[in-house]
């Protein structure tokens, strides 16, 4: 790290849970060791830290990380064990360890199977050190190479939902016009709800204030999956300043789509929890996924996106409704009144508390909101 960069760099703790990730962890560790500042200099290995959480792995994942400790460029690396399988518990274990040490003011949560930009750590430090945001969500996308191998799926996503699944390179390659798309980055500008995120970074103060990661359950005792959505909801409740970064892309691993395409196409990809999908990158799987693109029913996808990106943030902050009247038109008063009355009767501490209201509002109003969005985007013709 250059002397000038070092003067502005504040440390980052990177929390990464892993379960049977032996096939990808060597690549991830090499990406850690190659992290650079904005001037292209390697980050000092003592200026940030990796907290890897072994979540009941039965392969040699921990041994692979151990083999990289002390290698040139590799930051201080802590390996923790969390025997209770589940990504939320693993993130909590890593978070608790990070919060117990105040040396580094920021925490970045990533997944073990994603590919990282070489300036990600420096970018987290720079943006959070500026004081303009408390929380950063980094965009996550499948690579252009992935979409080139399933072009029909790409086209159907664009036609049915918009451009949220695609980075700028992919949009240019396929000629996807954001001005003619339904769901776009404008959702963050309007409702402060990120389209997607693979790297979630925040100040430790914000993390502590919202309670960190913990498992949430509905009234029937079923766990509410989606730990990133759940914590984002609580961060928003606590008035954290949120920002979305889409010019530095974390690359997604497509194994869920490739390894379980039928369940994914039926909208049941995460039903019953996470499955163990490894080493499924074959041409047959790409061909099957591309064929199944015709079977995807996108109406439930759009409905879920309206719930996540519009209804949920309005439940947190009802003032967003009036600020975005065009999304609601004739339902604006009723929509706002239902939220206000419900919140007067129910404490709102976590996403689980809001879920009954969110589902009810989605059932009542998602069709109208969708029609209004089409009008706003000029897509009625």
Nearest to 145 by CA among 258, 266, 236: 258
Cα separation, 144 vs 153, in Å, equals 13
Lowest average pLDDT, out of 39-53, 146-160, 185-199, goes to 185-199
Q: Average pLDDT of 214-230?
A: 94
Torsions phi, psi for 247 (to 5 deg):
-105, 10
Residue 221 scores a pLDDT above 60? yes
Residue 13 C-beta-side C-alpha neighbours within 13 Å? 26
Q: Is 35 within the bounds of a domain?
A: yes
Are the C-beta atoms of 176 and 166 separated by less than 8 Å? yes
Nearest to 265 by CA among 160, 363, 110, 148: 160
Q: Is 116 within the bounds of a domain?
A: yes
Range of the domain at 63: 3-130
248, two tokens: 């530095």
Q: Is 38 within the bounds of a domain?
A: yes
Residue 4's Cα: distance from chain center in Å?
Answer: 32
Task: Name the domain boundary from 296, 325, 359.
Answer: 296
Cα separation, 335 vs 341, in Å, equals 10
Q: Average pLDDT of 108-124?
A: 96
Cα separation, 307 vs 328, in Å, equals 13
Q: Is 229 within the bounds of a domain?
A: no
Task: Name the domain boundary from 130, 159, 180.
Answer: 130
Q: How many CB atoms lie within 10 A of CB 124?
A: 24
DSSP string, 94-106: HHHHHHT--SS-E
Q: What is the pLDDT of residues 323-379, one digit of tens each?
A: 999 999 999 999 999 999 999 999 999 999 999 999 999 999 999 999 999 999 999
Tell me what pLDDT residue 3 has: 44
Q: Is 236 within the bounds of a domain?
A: no
Q: CATH code at 47?
A: 3.90.550.10
pTM for this one?
0.91
280, two tokens: 């499924």
Q: How many domains does the chain have?
A: 2
């Amino acid at each position: 790290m250059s002397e000038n960069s070092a003067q502005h760099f504040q440390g980052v703790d990177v929390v990464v849970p892993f379960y049977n990730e032996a096939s990808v962890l060597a690549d991830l560790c090499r990406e850690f060791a190659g992290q650079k500042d904005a001037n292209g200099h390697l980050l000092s290995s003592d200026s940030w830290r990796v907290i890897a959480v072994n979540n009941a792995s039965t392969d040699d994942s921990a041994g692979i990380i151990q083999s990289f400790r002390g290698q040139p460029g590799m930051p201080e690396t802590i390996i923790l064990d969390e025997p209770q399988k589940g990504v939320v518990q693993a993130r909590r274990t890593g978070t608790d360890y990070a919060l117990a040490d105040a040396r580094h003011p920021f925490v970045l949560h990533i997944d073990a199977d994603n590919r990282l930009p070489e300036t990600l750590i420096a970018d987290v430090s720079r943006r959070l050190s500026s004081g303009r945001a408390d929380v950063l969500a980094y965009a996550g996308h499948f690579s252009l190479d992935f979409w080139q191998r399933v072009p029909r799926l790409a086209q159907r996503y664009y036609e049915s939902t918009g451009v949220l699944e695609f980075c700028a390179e992919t949009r240019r390659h396929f000629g996807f016009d954001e001005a003619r798309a339904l769901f776009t980055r404008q959702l963050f500008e309007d409702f402060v709800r990120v389209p997607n995120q693979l790297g979630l970074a925040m100040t430790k103060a914000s993390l502590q204030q919202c309670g960190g990661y913990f498992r949430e359950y509905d009234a029937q005792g079923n766990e509410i999956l989606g730990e990133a959505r759940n914590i984002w909801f609580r961060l928003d409740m606590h008035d954290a300043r949120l920002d979305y970064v889409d010019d530095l892309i974390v690359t997604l691993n497509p194994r869920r789509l490739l390894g379980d395409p039928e369940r994914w196409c039926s909208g049941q990809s995460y039903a019953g929890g996470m499955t163990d999908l490894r080493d499924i990158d074959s041409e047959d799987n790409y061909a099957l996924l591309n064929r199944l693109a015709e079977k995807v029913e996108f109406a439930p996808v759009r409905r879920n996106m309206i719930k996540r990106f519009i209804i949920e943030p309005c439940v947190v902050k009802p003032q967003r409704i009036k600020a975005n009247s065009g999304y609601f038109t004739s339902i604006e008063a009723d929509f706002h009144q239902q939220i206000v009355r419900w919140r007067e009767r129910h404490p709102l501490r976590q996403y689980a508390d809001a879920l009954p209201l969110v589902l009810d509002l989605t059932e009542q109003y998602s069709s109208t909101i969708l029609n209004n969005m089409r009008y706003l985007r000029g897509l009625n013709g």
